[in-house]
Amino acid sequence: MFKRLTKLLVLLSLGLQSLPASPDVLVLVHGYLGSATSWETSGVNAILEQHGWQRGGIVTPTALLPGPAGDAANRVYSVELPSMAPIAFQAELLGRELDAVTARHPAEPVVLVGHSAGGVVARMLLVQNRAPQAKALITIASPHLGTDRAIEALEATDDPFPFSMIKDFFSGGLYAVVRDSRGVLVDLTPARPGSLLDWLNAQTHPDIAYVSILRPGPVGLGDELVPVFSQDMNNVTALAGKSSSFTLPVSHSLQPLDGFKLVEILQKL
């Protein structure tokens, strides 16, 4: 009797191991002045596809533009957001876009990946309980505790007319872009009492996996835009000790190495 029971348990175990794992959906959230195509031009999407993540398409607040047909189980979608808008507004639109994705994949877990400010937008969505299918958040060089660069940008564009017009002329239009980004830049200033990040970092976050991809820079203090301590979700009050962390010795922008690191992380989730 004992031998037959043991044999039955072994057979059941083998049967369970042979069952295919539930496919996942990857949703990529670009950062400030980025776009859905940032993941394409950086080479990240190509690397993901080489490792079994089929392009599902680009998602806008009003439409889902399907990608090429394929038979891969795992799908990856890139969202399009108005990156100069305040974080809360971007999170609202991301929620709509995620709804469109999950409507196509109603039973599949979702992994959110945010680059730079996109990681903060994705985290805002999570604390608002707008991503019930999410099983993980991966952020890449995101300013979770803010960045002094946002303060510098705000100060550099705080000029009365006609000085603002002169600066805009000689900047080739960049001055106007930064000036019109005031909403998101204010949100990304270092966390302090009353700021968006101070509020966000104290909110209850869902019990999912959190992964921080860090850019330590040449001397270990951070990349050219975000201090390394701000990139680590373990330094977020509500997530202390809950995030895995990996470092990549590259600049702030998306890189092919991010694709390989994402594949490595996704295989372990």
Which value, to the nearest 10 degrees, does the dihedral of the CA atoms of residues 106, 57, 70, 47 take?
A: -110
177 φ/ψ angles, rounded to the nearest 5 degrees: -60, -45
Q: Which of 9-23, 68-82, 175-189 has the lowest mean pLDDT?
A: 9-23
**21-59: pLDDT as tens digits:** 457 999 999 999 999 999 999 999 999 999 999 999 999
- Helix, strand, or coil (residue 209): strand
Mean pLDDT of the chain: 88
Residue 178: the pLDDT is 86
Q: CA 145 → CA 189, 190, 191, 242, distances in Å?
A: 8, 6, 5, 16
The whole-number average pLDDT for the span 145-174 is 72
List every span in the chain annotated with CATH 3.40.50.1820.
22-145+189-266
Mean pLDDT of 118-137: 97
> Rounded to an integer, what distance in angstroms lies between the CA atom of residue 44 and that of residue 261?
10
Mean pLDDT of all residues in 122-131: 97
The pLDDT of 136-157, averaged and rounded, is 96
Q: Read off the tokens for 81.
A: 């957001």
What integer pLDDT is reported at residue 10 of this predicted model? 36
What pLDDT score does 235 carry? Answer: 98
Q: What is the predicted pLDDT for the residue at 162?
A: 52
Residue 164: which pLDDT band, with cuts at 50, 70 and 90? Answer: low
11 pLDDT above the threshold of 80: no
Residue located via tokens 């991503």: 131
> Would you say 122 and 31 are in contact if contact means Cβ atoms under 8 Å apart?
no
Query: 22-145+189-266 adopts what CATH topology?
Result: Rossmann fold (3.40.50)
Q: Which residues contact 148 (CB under 8 A, 6 or more apart)?
A: 190, 227
Segments in 105-181 forming alpha helices (H)? 117-127, 148-156, 163-170, 174-179
Q: What is the pTM of this model?
A: 0.89
Q: Are 49 and 10 in contact (CB under 8 A)?
A: no
Is the pLDDT at 118 greater than 60? The verdict is: yes
- Which one has a higher pLDDT value, 159 or 32? 32
